[in-house]
Structure 1
Amino acid sequence: MSTNTTTIDVAAGTPFIDTSRDFDAAPSRVFQAFTDPELVVKWLGPRRLEMRLESYDARTGGSYRYTHVDEQGSEFGFRGVFHEVQEPLRIIQTFEFDGAPGQVTLDTTRFEDLGGRTRVVQHSVFPSVEARDMAVASGMDAGIKESMDRLEELLG
């Protein structure tokens, strides 16, 4: 059983969500799991949802689009643009849920080298506190935690 836990900070009155998680893998390996489409589909999102990757070009200037599908066939689409992909240090990208058009977040993911282990630190900036609160109310934090657990399984 893992001793690594996902920490999610949702400070009152700010439009931010900060997440961190340590992994027993080198930064280059964790970075690859965030940028290789064949690996992304194995961990991103809740286990109960099927992920259909339409495009995933993880390079500076690239973009992505994917859809999660639940057991009843309901679809949840997501898209964004990679503003900076700097291996193995950082990814800066936008994130937009089709169900909340125009509510684009700017996400920065850092991969901190802990001497053979990696701390993934994510900072998500929402367009408003209200948009952030809606995302949290939708269960986004549970989805983040489950994704990080799945990523740890993949890296293990």
Structure 2
Amino acid sequence: MYQRRLQINSPVDVPIVIYHNFLKVAPAHAFLALTDPSYIEIWGDTIGYKVALFNIDLSVGGRYDIAYSDPSGILRQASGEILEFQPPRCLVFTRELDVKSGEETLETLIFDSMDGGTYLTGISRYPSIEVRDRIANVSFMSFVANAFECLDEVVGDSWVVENLSV
């Protein structure tokens, strides 16, 4: 079986961040765990993020809004539009970085079946290298690594897998 190891690559001359991670469950379960508010609350809570609001319309052109408090208690918000929705294979959406400036990223998640689990590829495309370097810093990458580790533990739990409605 493939060993889980988060890999993050940020090319110097392109405003993107690419990450790969292996999850212990089938793509349908991984996809649901990343799109169903009840499961996002479960694994977000394991890393100290309390979801206060999560609305999502999982259809092309649909929107999502999420509000959560981080471990230090700061309220954070994110929103965007669903551009492509192909469960359990692919999810493409925008993520507004700053409502005032109109900055947003283009997020792509690809779920591939591999060795009894899911090989997840994520691509975050930023409006510029400067914005990428400001947002995707060491602290953010540490958050991503921690989130995927907790997600893998929660999704891999037999109780969660048995109760996912895929």
TM-score (norm 1): 0.88
Deviation at 1:100, TM superposition (A): 7.2
Within 2, Cα distance between the matches of 1:45 and 1:101? 30
Deviation at 1:123, TM superposition (A): 0.7
Q: Retained in 2: the 8 A contact 1:45–1:143? A: no
Structure 2 CA distance for aligned equivalents of residues 74 and 51 of structure 1: 12
> TM-score, structure 2 length as denominator?
0.83
CA contact (8 A) 1:107 1:124 kept: yes
Separation of aligned partners in 2, 1:46 and 1:126: 28
Unaligned stretches of 5+ residues in structure 2 = 157-166
Q: Mean Cα displacement is larger for which, 57-66 or 86-95? A: 57-66
Quote how far apart the aligned CAs of 1:150 are.
1.3
- Of 77-86 and 135-144, more deviation after overlay is shown by 135-144
In structure 1, the partner of 2:90 is 90
Matched, 1:22 2:48: no
The residue number in structure 1 matching 2:160 is none
* Alignment length (residue pairs): 155
- Higher deviation after alignment, 141-150 or 49-58: 49-58
**Unmatched runs of 5 consecutive residues or more in structure 1:** none
Does residue 39 in structure 1 map to residue 39 in structure 2?
yes
The answer for the alignment partner of 2:147 in structure 1 is: 147
* Cα distance between partner residues in 1 of 2:89 and 2:72: 39
Q: Counterpart in 2 of 1:51?
A: 51
The structure where helix makes up a greater share of residues is 2
1:122-133 superposed matches below 5 A = 122-133=122-133
The structural deviation recorded for 1:138 is 6.7
What's the % identity of the aligned pairs? 26
SS of residue paired to 2:153: helix
Q: Deviations over 1:4-55 (max 9, x none)?
A: 1211101112100001101111111111112211112223588123122231
Greater shift, 28-37 or 104-113, is seen at: 28-37
